[in-house]
Amino acid sequence: MVICAMTRRGLALLLLFTATGAGPAPTLPLPPAPPEHPPTEQTAPIPNPDARGPRDTASVGTQVQITDFRVPRRDASKGYTPGSHFQSSSERRDIDTPGLTVRVPLQ
- Mean pLDDT per 10-residue section of the chain, whose length is 107 residues: 77 82 76 84 81 70 79 64 71 73 80
Distance of CA 41 to the CA centre of its chain: 36
Instruction: Give me the pLDDT at residue 22, please.
Output: 65
Rounded CA separation 90/80 (Å): 19
Contact 99, 65 (CB under 8 A): no
pTM above 0.95, yes or no: no
Distance, in Å, from the CA atom of 97 to the CA atom of 70, rounded to the nearest integer, reads: 9
